[in-house]
């Protein structure tokens, strides 16, 4: 039977959702007890990337005056379309349909 692959980053995110104030050593110890081998340094790196992304979103929200739900919708559109130009075309088509209705 093959070993099940574990996404360590996702495991840290899930632990942080359940325990938002958890420190890196606590998270590493808890995940190690669950059978996920992870170091305190790796947990710290994951946490810092999460914080960096939050700061970037916050900066864009302040600069543009656009809310987080709109940013999430825009990111989903970009992901679905693949490129910014394809997303712009999809938006143009949606505006055209909206004008007809």
Hey, where are the domains in the chain? Answer: 1-65, 67-101
pLDDT for res 11: 93
pLDDT for res 9: 92
Give the pLDDT means over successive 10-residue stretches in the chain (101 positions): 73 93 94 93 93 83 81 90 93 91 82
| CB-CB contact of 11 with 47 (8 Å) | no
Helix-, strand-, coil-residue percentages of the chain, each rounded to 5: 75, 0, 25
Provide the residue count of the chain: 101
pLDDT for res 39: 94
pLDDT for res 8: 92
């Amino acid at each position: 039977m093959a070993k099940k692959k574990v996404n360590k980053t996702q495991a840290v995110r899930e632990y942080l959702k359940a325990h938002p104030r958890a420190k890196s050593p606590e998270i590493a110890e808890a995940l190690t007890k669950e059978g996920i081998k992870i170091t305190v340094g790796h947990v710290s790196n994951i946490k810092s990337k999460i914080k960096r992304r939050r700061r970037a979103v916050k900066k864009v929200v302040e600069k543009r005056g656009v809310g987080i739900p709109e940013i999430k919708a825009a990111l989903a559109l970009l992901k679905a379309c693949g490129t910014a130009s394809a997303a712009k075309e999809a938006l143009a088509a949606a505006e055209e349909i909206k004008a007809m209705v």
